[in-house]
Structure 1
């Protein structure tokens, strides 16, 4: 796990990494800003409809901003992984070209449709499983740190699946997909734990999608990664 992270960090200066980082960050921030802005105005309208001020009062606006920011923080991971799914091919190609030339030669390039499908499945899983876990998050509120731990655990599992699939699309035949998921469960969990941790650290969370994709590539090709 740490070897995979070390190799991934060491390749951050690769032009392919920098290109994907720039594109994915820009697209992620644009989507993030649009959603946050839209949610803010939706909340302002909703508060006005409830009769809380006139819809432009300080209390309503402040509450809307806080809720929009909190929702945005929760959704950032979902958006970032979905976006990186559109550019994973470039990251994995760069990793394989440098570290695993034999595997790179045998890879089957994932179609754009396949990448979009995997990204959308990732979004669906993230929203669905976190909604299912919401009662647990609420139940653990009295423990203060409980919701954060539960949120971390759920999303570590999801990230391991998401990042693994993004890489496996190049190497694992559809017929072997289930077997691959079963055989890599432990390694994918390790990647998910590291990625979830990175997403919780300011600044590092901006690099988390790219590093996670690179780590997943190492995980697939290195038994000891």
Structure 2
């Protein structure tokens, strides 16, 4: 199974030389970079506002001036760490928003090169994919925030902390990317049954995606790599499961 995953990933990397793929790649790079900046600025503004409120409260207390300075410095340092942690946690969920706009172009490029015999995919409205992406982003952010105390508790307990982070996000990303790709060709009940039947493969693909999204610079092209990977995974399990190209239509 692992060999099949890396074979699929190598196909995606090899396709970076495809002109059609490069066009989508440039758009994804620009969108990912812009999204990362937005996430970073949003987290920074939220923590800066919290820091200003806390600083005013500390200054209003009967505390020695030196201690006020020390506490403000500590909060500033924690704010920087908080921005990095927030970006780390939010970016995987936010990238699915990029996917909702680029899904069809990426998937079609992969299919043209590796699966030329497939019939045309279902014309999925952008708003349908965007609604699904927004719902996924909300659930992912909420679950990561709920798991944040556990992340912090396990911060100094490697590799358990990594298993928790990549396990949770791998499950969520695998599920969402697989269904977004599968719904181009299958009805929703059929797509979900296929995902559940091959949940191990989908989870492994999701963990690979989660890992790519946490690598500096690589995370900027991760939405494209993740989509291409999941197209290959979907075609593998669809054929293995004996599901026709347009089941349920």
Q: TM-score per shorter chain, which class? A: 0.7 to 0.9
Deviations 1:26-45 (A, max 9, x none): 22322322332233233223
Match of 1:198 among 197, 212, 226: 212
Conservation of the 8 A alpha-carbon contact between 1:166 and 1:213: no
Distance 1:107 1:65 in 2: 45
- Residue 42 of structure 1 corresponds to 46
- 1:89 is matched with which residue? 104
Q: Within the alignment, does 1:176 sit opposite 2:190 as a pair?
A: yes
* SS of residue in 1 equivalent to 2:16: coil
Displacement of 1:152 in angstroms is: 1.1
Q: Deviation per CA, 1:125-177, whole angstroms, max 9, x where unpaired? A: 31133234334324423524322221011111112112101211211112423
1:112 positional shift: 0.7
TM superposition shift of 1:62:
4.4
1:122 match: 136
Q: Which residue of 2 aligns with 1:66?
A: 81
Decide which moves more: 142-151 or 213-222: 142-151
Instruction: State the distance in 2 between where 1:135 and 1:47 align.
Output: 20
Query: 2-side partners of 1:178 and 1:41: how far apart?
Result: 39
Give the RMSD, CA atoms, in angstroms.
2.5
Q: Which structure 2 segments of 5+ residues have no match?
A: 59-67, 241-249
The separation in 1 between residues aligned to 2:224 and 2:235, in whole angstroms, is 17
For residues 131 and 34 of structure 1, do their structure 2 counterparts lie closer, same or farther at Cα, with a shift above 3 Å needed?
closer
Structure 1: gaps (5+ residues) = none
For residues 58 and 161 of structure 1, the distance between their equivalents in structure 2, rounded to whole angstroms, comes to 42
Given the alignment, which residue of 13, 16, 20 partners 1:12?
Answer: 16
- Whether contact under 8 Å (1:156, 1:195) holds in the other structure is yes
Aligned residues of 2:43 and 2:87 also touching (Cα < 8 A): no
User: What is the match of residue 101 of structure 1?
Assistant: 116
Larger Rg: 2
Residue number among 28, 43, 46 corresponding to 1:24 in the alignment: 28
| TM-score (structure 2 length as normaliser) | 0.78
For the residue of structure 2 that corresponds to 1:108, the secondary structure is: coil
Q: What's the secondary structure of 1:123's corresponding residue?
A: helix
The TM-score normalised by the length of structure 1 is: 0.86
Q: 1:184 to 1:85 in 2, by over 3 A?
A: farther
